[in-house]
Structure 1
């Protein structure tokens, strides 16, 4: 099932001008583009500052200038807007392989089969929205089963994510313009009191077709997913790709696996010729009804191993719905990096001194496909005394960062975030506790080591200037190991906390 993001850019012409430096308007002053409409000059696009002052597209330039004396006007440039929109669409292929232009101020992105690489649909939308905001592009996003529903929510609703199968409920309160109807159809609907999409549900389809023609029902069915709406995907001409067209449609899982292996072999040959390795592959199947089915996989390192890449793609083939058959398949290396040839010598490997480090790239790639990038990582040390800041997540095969664990300061295998309060009793200051109670269970301590005093990092947060923790590694009579700390001296009534379990 498609899952389509509608990316609506309400101020695209003015945002493009500010980003390109083509406008001399300061960031805090209103900016608008102006077009010629017969003998009149009208506003074609306005930025957020101009919109807050009451300006809108279609208003005459003379009227706008009278309302806002400091308004900056720039001639409209539709060709430049369209070219920049296409470049933005190619950039958006970092999120999914199927990105289509929705002129003049939008994009459509089918993220089915790719959202897992970003931790899910919500994380993908958050990341895309944040990146656009940082670059000065105003955007409104919606995600739904169909392009029509996502388009309507982005422009006439609150945006957000529509759950699978929820298109009808999401569209019901929206105005009729959300169905992408012409002005004549909208006037006719308004004349008979139909102003909301939900009002069409209970109306006889034959009567609606007779009165308003087939366009109304066609648009409604597309928004609800009853009629397919193919997307024409953008493709950069210089991107390495391999394609196959079939004389007869295919659809069996075994056939798709053979096609995938063939495409990988062809693509690897092209990558070898260019001296590249792929870090991300997009496989797009075009069905006989012109709907595209896409899957995406990523690799931890640049790769040209055709068999390995085919196995990774085969893991995702279960997401492909072949419908009545697939007539074309295109495999694209949407992210590549230089990869030089290496000469392997069996004799050198046998004579090499010391243990050989196994190559974990294939295992990491398989885990990335099955679990998603957010769940595959390793912990790297960070130069910080506070335990909760002493590690961070990095990609599983990332190069060492330079920091190392102090050999004389062992740490537990698991940290609790945040630390949990415990009740503990110690006989004398600076001595470890005799026992502690955690989650209503009493633990009597048999062995202990400490204290290890850790002070706050005042250069990170001023509130940590007086922070003091005394840590103790303890072992109970049952052999369990814990990491406790007291957040102040005993005479200052410091409280006890449990921060770690086990020991490395």
Structure 2
């Protein structure tokens, strides 16, 4: 079943203006409006959240807005720059979220996320990451995911706070309570429907279509059917000219896996030639298979390093042929390098004295495209004494950070995501416990070493000014070795709760 994300940017023009102005942007707390012209009148075209909270609205005369809000910041509207920036944002999402992304002007972006959620840890994680990145960039955003573009568009604008996931098969239930304007109709149609007594979309579902079509034209029923999934609404993906892309149109639709694999090889060879002419290598490829029923099947692969080796790229794409449902046949195939970086060929040097380092990028690419790029990583040390902050994940082939691992005290091979509370008994302040109970199992302590005192990082927050942890390495009667700590110094209650926690397990 198709899944579509609608991203709503309610204050996109003002957000774009603040981002473009940089250090010279108006203060965040200052109310900001954009002004345009309606014939001879100068009117408000966009208001930010602060201006809206003060009662300013789109369409209001600028002179009235100035009278209502002293100190109002007024900037000229620039719809062309807004549209161009929205396209650049859509391209940014194309490279990071899913292969099919399109602009939904004037204030939104639509994404066909069918089959892409597992690459991001599920739909909830995907939406949270998407909104989080936009908010961190200074862009106000809301997003919803549903079975159709129409439902996702409506929910993003009328219910999402800031994200909403509509379960599959709930289009009609989700649409019913929403206002008529949520159907993406010209303003005159909802106004006419209200004159007839219709207030919500649910009032239209089940009504005879012929009278509605005669009175309001075909657009009303078309939008309703598109939202309910009765009529397909294909999303035409954005493809800027700077992207390297190749396309193959078939005289007769193809469906066999062997035929698809053969043409993938031809497309890859052509794409690699185009990349070589620009001295580029692919970091991400999107294969779009346009079916005869207007559906698009997508395959996305990522690469750890820039690559333009036809055999390697073909193998990675063909590994995912089983995910392609050709339906009644594929009539167009498009292969695009959505991420490309400079790549120059180097002459191979014979290493007769020094052994060359093995190239692991091929293995990493294969694993990452099978289990997801988020699952392939390595750990790097971070300059911090607090154990859970002393390590971070970095890409598998990232450069060394330059930081070293601590070696003054042993550290467990497995550090728990967060310390888990344990029941225990110990003499204060410096003695290890005699026993402890973890996850319902009581264990007797045979050997112990410690304490190792770790202080809080006072420069990060006030609560860590006096925070103390005393860590012990202990071994139980079954040979298990654990890393536990007491929160506090064992004497002063202001240094911690004096509760015990298990934080790691030694191999």
Question: Which residue of structure 2 aligns with residue 18 of structure 1?
Answer: 18
Q: Matched residue of 2:299: which SS?
A: strand
CA distance in 2, matches of 1:183, 1:426: 73
Residue 220 of structure 1 and its aligned partner are, at CA, apart by: 0.6
Residue 175 of structure 1 and its aligned partner are, at CA, apart by: 1.0
Which segment drifts farther, 145-154 or 1-10?
Answer: 1-10
Tell me, yes or no, if the aligned pair for 2:381 and 2:405 is still in contact at 8 Å: yes
CA distance in 2, matches of 1:391, 1:57: 49
Residue 362 of structure 1 and its aligned partner are, at CA, apart by: 2.2
CA distance in 2, matches of 1:451, 1:119: 39
Q: Deviations over 1:307-349 (max 9, x none)?
A: 322233234444434333222221111112222323335xx35
Tell me, yes or no, if the aligned pair for 1:241 and 1:333 is still in contact at 8 Å: yes
CA distance in 2, matches of 1:62, 1:478: 81
Residue 221 of structure 1 and its aligned partner are, at CA, apart by: 0.8
- TM-score, normalized by length of structure 1? 0.87
Residue 227 of structure 1 and its aligned partner are, at CA, apart by: 0.9
Tell me, yes or no, if the aligned pair for 2:485 and 2:501 is still in contact at 8 Å: yes
Tell me, yes or no, if the aligned pair for 1:424 and 1:436 is still in contact at 8 Å: yes
CA distance in 2, matches of 1:421, 1:25: 48
Tell me, yes or no, if the aligned pair for 2:245 and 2:335 is still in contact at 8 Å: yes
Question: Which residue of structure 2 aligns with residue 232 of structure 1?
Answer: 236
Q: Matches of residues 119-198 of structure 1 in structure 2 within 5 Å?
A: 119-158=121-160, 160-198=164-202
Matched, 1:103 2:129: no
Question: Which residue of structure 1 aligns with residue 271 of structure 2?
Answer: 267
Q: Matched residue of 2:415: which SS?
A: strand
Residue 281 of structure 1 and its aligned partner are, at CA, apart by: 1.2
CA distance in 2, matches of 1:106, 1:452: 54
Which segment drifts farther, 93-102 or 240-249?
Answer: 93-102
Residue 411 of structure 1 and its aligned partner are, at CA, apart by: 1.8
Q: Matched residue of 1:21: which SS?
A: helix
Q: Deviations over 1:232-254 (max 9, x none)?
A: 22222122222211111223333
Tell me, yes or no, if the aligned pair for 2:425 and 2:435 is still in contact at 8 Å: yes
CA distance in 2, matches of 1:387, 1:78: 50
Gaps of 5+ in 2: none
Q: Matched residue of 2:454: which SS?
A: strand
CA distance in 2, matches of 1:309, 1:478: 50
Matched, 1:498 2:502: yes
CA distance in 2, matches of 1:428, 1:77: 69
CA distance in 2, matches of 1:13, 1:476: 63
Change (3 A) 1:88 1:440: closer
Q: Matched residue of 1:384: which SS?
A: coil
Q: Matches of residues 13-52 of structure 1 in structure 2 within 5 Å?
A: 13-21=13-21, 27-52=28-53
Q: Matched residue of 2:259: which SS?
A: helix
Q: Matched residue of 2:404: which SS?
A: coil
Which segment drifts farther, 213-222 or 168-177?
Answer: 213-222
Change (3 A) 1:233 1:435: closer
Q: Matched residue of 1:333: which SS?
A: strand
Change (3 A) 1:210 1:488: closer
Change (3 A) 1:320 1:193: farther
2:218 aligned to which of 214, 221, 240: 214
Residue 501 of structure 1 and its aligned partner are, at CA, apart by: 1.6
Q: Deviations over 1:98-156 (max 9, x none)?
A: 22222222222223343333333333322332333333333332222222112212223
CA distance in 1, matches of 2:182, 2:488: 62
Tell me, yes or no, if the aligned pair for 1:119 and 1:373 is still in contact at 8 Å: no
Residue 445 of structure 1 and its aligned partner are, at CA, apart by: 3.9
Residue 423 of structure 1 and its aligned partner are, at CA, apart by: 4.4
CA distance in 1, matches of 2:342, 2:58: 47
CA distance in 2, matches of 1:497, 1:339: 50
Change (3 A) 1:182 1:352: same
Give aligned pairs, total: 499
CA distance in 1, matches of 2:48, 2:451: 60
Question: Which residue of structure 2 aligns with residue 83 of structure 1?
Answer: 84
Question: Which residue of structure 2 aligns with residue 331 of structure 1?
Answer: 335
- TM-score, normalized by length of structure 2? 0.87
Residue 428 of structure 1 and its aligned partner are, at CA, apart by: 9.8
Question: Which residue of structure 1 aligns with residue 403 of structure 2?
Answer: 403
CA distance in 2, matches of 1:426, 1:33: 67
Q: Matched residue of 1:44: which SS?
A: strand
Tell me, yes or no, if the aligned pair for 1:112 and 1:295 is still in contact at 8 Å: no
CA distance in 2, matches of 1:31, 1:471: 53
Tell me, yes or no, if the aligned pair for 2:19 and 2:25 is still in contact at 8 Å: no
Q: Matches of residues 62-461 of structure 1 in structure 2 within 5 Å?
A: 62-94=63-95, 95-158=97-160, 160-209=164-213, 212-344=216-348, 348-349=350-351, 351-353=352-354, 357-407=357-407, 409-424=409-424, 430=430, 432-461=432-461
Residue 424 of structure 1 and its aligned partner are, at CA, apart by: 4.5
Question: Which residue of structure 1 aligns with residue 471 of structure 2?
Answer: 471
Residue 491 of structure 1 and its aligned partner are, at CA, apart by: 7.2
**RMSD, matched Cα:** 3.1
Which segment drifts farther, 315-324 or 220-229?
Answer: 315-324
Tell me, yes or no, if the aligned pair for 1:113 and 1:296 is still in contact at 8 Å: no
Residue 224 of structure 1 and its aligned partner are, at CA, apart by: 1.4
Residue 490 of structure 1 and its aligned partner are, at CA, apart by: 6.5
Q: Matched residue of 1:266: which SS?
A: helix
